[in-house]
């Protein structure tokens, strides 16, 4: 537990003198990241539709291109040329602003994903990662808290009741689950001792036993996946856009390219969150290199491992959607506040104790048992009181 790898966060490209070549490399990286993200979204939309169809015994998109792979491109072009409606009761400025508040954070948060290690481009050392800021993983939390505004203001500015209901649900849900998400991230940061995403990945290299999913005991990984799914508003936590009760939720009144921006943001966030899960818990681009050196060993194999792990989670999110029924609102809040937050807090304490000294684990377990017993007792008391009131009402 006291592995202390050499933590060297920050991009080596930006530590030296910043000349024209450095600026060019940064621009190139930005462009490539943007393009990769857009292609990933187009692919993800197609992938989701195809896998869902398979799971439901349908064929799915099969007209545009081989296996219908160009379907999402065709849909995107169609959305561009559709009429852009503005509801009469809408707050014009906020209505126009909201889609960008959703899409821009989605683009930005992918910047901190560590795709690979240090490589050299045109003789300069740089990371396969657009930005490696000192606040690292906290940047993701900041961006996801900005994204709440997009959903919330879209619903409010539409001047219509279903979007408003959807957006009030959304803001409550996203703020609640952000707490659990943050505490779980803190567990990872505690073990790594650094906020840099590149350091978090670097501390997991070597073998599968160094991956945080094993080192942290698996539980934070599960908590993070659940909280991230809720943060993404994906099924089974898609109460925000529950079509059976809210028409379409916060984006009911949106059409054309503004609707497309919300859609884009949702799928981009799915890709980003999956990549972050891989980086935080599954060792990022870590994997056997079979002793191959050169371009294949430093570029292609890590990239391959990263994409392979990413696929597992992209598929899992689609699988969730096909399998799990939507939660009721009170179940959602119960899960967030009464299960995820206490469990992640308790696990944070255990990890802190072990990081400090192994024998504190002996003390941490009785403390956890006592804490769990007290929590259970207080829940039972609350339920009794409610039942008591019910009888007398």
Q: What is the CA radius of gyration of the chain?
A: 23
Q: Which of 132, 178, 231, 241 binds other proteins (CB under 8 A)?
A: 178
Q: Is 141 in the site for other proteins (CB under 8 A)?
A: yes
Q: Which is nearer to other proteins, 134 or 206 (CB)?
A: 134
Site string for other proteins, 217-256 (x = CB under 8 A): ----------------------------------------
Residue-by-residue DSSP string for 302-341: HHHHHHHHHHHHHHHHHHHHHHPPPPPHHHHHHIIIIIIH
How far is Cα of residue 15 from the mean position of the Cα atoms in its chain?
29
Q: Is 83 in the site for other proteins (CB under 8 A)?
A: no
Shortest separation between residue 166's beta carbon and other proteins, angstroms: 12
Encoded tokens for 183: 């505490």
Stretch that binds other proteins, among 21-29, 306-314, 341-349, 383-391 (CB under 8 A): 383-391
**CA–CA separation, 235 vs 242, rounded Å?**
9
Q: Is 156 in the site for other proteins (CB under 8 A)?
A: yes
Measured CA angle at 69 (ends 66, 75), to 5 deg: 130
Stretch that binds other proteins, among 50-58, 116-124, 169-177, 349-357 (CB under 8 A): 169-177
In 193-300, which residue ranges form alpha helices assigned H by DSSP?
Answer: 197-202, 212-215, 219-231, 243-246, 256-281, 294-295
Q: Which is nearer to other proteins, 145 or 210 (CB)?
A: 145
276 closest CA partner among 240, 228, 329: 228
Q: How far is CA 49 from CA 61, 71, 80, 177, in A?
A: 7, 10, 21, 27
**CA–CA separation, 178 vs 340, rounded Å?**
11
Encoded tokens for 133: 């800021």
Q: Which of 161, 338, 359, 388 binds other proteins (CB under 8 A)?
A: 388
Q: At what angle do helices 256-281 and 161-192 cross, to 10 degrees?
A: 20
Q: Which of 103, 112, 154, 172 binds other proteins (CB under 8 A)?
A: 172
Encoded tokens for 230: 């809720």
Q: Which is nearer to other proteins, 196 or 313 (CB)?
A: 196
Q: Which of 53, 145, 255, 316 binds other proteins (CB under 8 A)?
A: 145
224 closest CA partner among 248, 200, 199, 250: 200
Q: Is 59 in the site for other proteins (CB under 8 A)?
A: no
88 closest CA partner among 157, 26, 19, 14: 157
Chain positions 118 to 137 lying near other proteins, rule: CB under 8 A, are: 133-135
Encoded tokens for 287: 């994997």
226 closest CA partner among 215, 237, 214: 237
Q: Which is nearer to other proteins, 14 or 141 (CB)?
A: 141
Q: Which of 37, 106, 128, 152 binds other proteins (CB under 8 A)?
A: 152
Q: Which of 47, 110, 139, 211 binds other proteins (CB under 8 A)?
A: 139
**CA–CA separation, 238 vs 112, rounded Å?**
26
Site string for other proteins, 180-199 (x = CB under 8 A): --x-----------xx----
Chain positions 325 to 354 lying near other proteins, rule: CB under 8 A, are: 328, 330-331, 334
Q: Which is nearer to other proteins, 11 or 286 (CB)?
A: 11
Task: Give residues in contact with other proteins (CB under 8 A).
Answer: 91, 93-94, 133-135, 138-139, 141-142, 144-146, 148-149, 152-153, 156, 164, 167-168, 171-172, 175, 178, 182, 194-195, 328, 330-331, 334, 383, 385-390, 392-393
């Amino acid at each position: 537990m006291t592995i202390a790898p050499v933590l060297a966060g920050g991009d080596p490209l930006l530590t030296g003198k910043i000349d024209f070549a450095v600026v060019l490399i940064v621009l190139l990286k930005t462009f490539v990241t943007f393009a990769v993200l857009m292609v990933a979204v187009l692919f993800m939309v197609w992938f989701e539709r195809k896998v869902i169809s398979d799971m439901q015994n349908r064929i799915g998109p099969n007209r545009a291109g081989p296996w219908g792979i160009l379907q999402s491109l065709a849909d995107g072009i169609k959305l561009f040329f559709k009429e852009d409606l503005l509801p009469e009761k809408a707050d014009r400025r906020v209505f126009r602003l909201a889609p960008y508040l959703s899409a821009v954070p989605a683009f930005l948060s992918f910047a901190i994903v560590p795709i690979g290690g240090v490589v050299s481009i045109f003789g300069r050392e740089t990371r396969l990662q657009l930005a490696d800021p000192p606040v690292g993983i906290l940047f993701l939390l900041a961006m996801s808290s900005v994204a709440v505004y997009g959903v919330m203001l879209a619903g409010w500015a539409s001047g219509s009741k279903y979007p408003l209901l959807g957006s009030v649900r959304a803001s409550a849900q996203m703020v609640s689950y952000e707490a659990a998400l943050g505490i779980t991230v803190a567990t990872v940061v505690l073990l790594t001792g650094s906020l840099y995403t590149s350091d978090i990945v670097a501390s997991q290299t070597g073998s599968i036993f160094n991956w945080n999913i094993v080192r942290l005991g698996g539980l934070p990984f599960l908590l993070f996946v659940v909280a991230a799914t809720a943060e993404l508003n994906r099924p089974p936590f898609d109460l925000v856009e529950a079509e059976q009760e809210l028409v379409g939720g916060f984006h009911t009144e949106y059409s054309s390219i503004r609707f497309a921006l919300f859609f884009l943001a949702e799928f981009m966030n799915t890709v980003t969150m999956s990549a972050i899960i891989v980086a935080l818990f599954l060792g990022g681009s870590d994997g056997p290199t079979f002793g191959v050196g050169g371009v294949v060993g430093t570029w292609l194999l890590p990239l391959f491992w990263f994409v392979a792990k990413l696929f597992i989670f992209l598929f899992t999110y689609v699988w969730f959607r096909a399998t799990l029924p939507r939660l009721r609102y009170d179940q959602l809040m119960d899960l967030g506040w009464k299960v995820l937050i206490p469990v992640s807090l308790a696990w944070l304490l255990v990890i802190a104790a072990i990081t400090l000294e192994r024998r504190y684990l002996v003390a941490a377990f009785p403390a956890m048992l006592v804490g769990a017993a007290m929590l259970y007792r207080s829940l039972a008391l609350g339920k009794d009181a409610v039942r008591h009131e019910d009888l007398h009402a």
